[in-house]
């Protein structure tokens, strides 16, 4: 990830409502959430929500797709991986013990689900 793109992403995440939206969409998984459910979950009006969703989409952190009359939003997981990579790229400087706590914190506690 380039610095300019990272700055745009961090700027988008620096606002409380947008950060809540992103965390909610990451938790929702690849299925995403319809806009109305996002608004209900964070207590945002339609116009306010639309503004924040547009901002996050322009920053490349979320994407939308139409499903009938609904718009479904999902997190762009590769964008978040890129942000983490951007921050950690030069971390170790040949000393992996420096980055060990950060890498350990990234260890996902999620158990893989089995498909029936």
pLDDT tens profile 7-38: 999 999 999 999 999 999 999 999 999 999 99
Residue 15 lies in a domain: yes
CA dihedral 103, 3, 27, 49 (to 10 degrees): 160
Residue 114 lies in a domain: no
Is the pLDDT reported for residue 58 higher than 90?
A: yes
Total domains present in the chain:
1
Question: What does the mean pLDDT of the chain come to?
Answer: 88
Give the pLDDT confidence score for residue 116 in this predicted structure: 46
Give the pLDDT confidence score for residue 1 in this predicted structure: 79
pLDDT average, residue stretch 85-94:
79
Give the pLDDT confidence score for residue 30 in this predicted structure: 94
- Angstrom distance (rounded) from CA 50 to CA 103: 35
Residue 116 lies in a domain: no
Q: Please list, in sequence order, all residues whose beta carbon lies within 8 angstroms of the beta carbon of residue 27, skipping any fewer than 6 positions away.
A: none
Give the pLDDT confidence score for residue 115 in this predicted structure: 53
Residue 63 lies in a domain: yes
Structural domain that includes position 31: 1-109
**CATH number for the domain harbouring residue 81:** 1.10.10.10
Of all residues in the chain, the percent with pLDDT exceeding 90 is 64
Least confident of 38-52, 60-74, 90-104: 90-104
Residue 59 lies in a domain: yes
- The C-alpha R_g of the chain, in whole angstroms, comes to 16
More confident position, 114 or 94: 94
pLDDT average, residue stretch 35-48:
93
- Angstrom distance (rounded) from CA 31 to CA 37: 13
With b for 16 or more beta-carbon neighbours within 10 A and e for fewer, the 37-75 pattern comes to ebbeebebeeeebeebbebbeebbbbeeeeeeeebbbbb
Residue 115 lies in a domain: no
């Amino acid at each position: 990830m380039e610095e300019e793109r990272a700055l745009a992403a961090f700027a988008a995440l620096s606002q409380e409502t947008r950060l809540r939206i992103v965390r909610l969409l990451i938790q929702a998984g690849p299925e995403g959430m319809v806009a109305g459910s996002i608004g209900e979950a964070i207590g945002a009006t339609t116009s306010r929500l639309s503004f924040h969703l547009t901002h996050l989409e322009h920053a490349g952190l979320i994407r939308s797709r139409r499903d009938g009359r609904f718009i479904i939003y999902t997190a762009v997981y590769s964008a978040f991986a890129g942000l983490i990579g951007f921050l950690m790229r030069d971390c170790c400087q040949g000393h992996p013990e420096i980055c060990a706590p950060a890498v350990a914190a990234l260890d996902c506690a999620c158990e893989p689900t089995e498909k029936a």
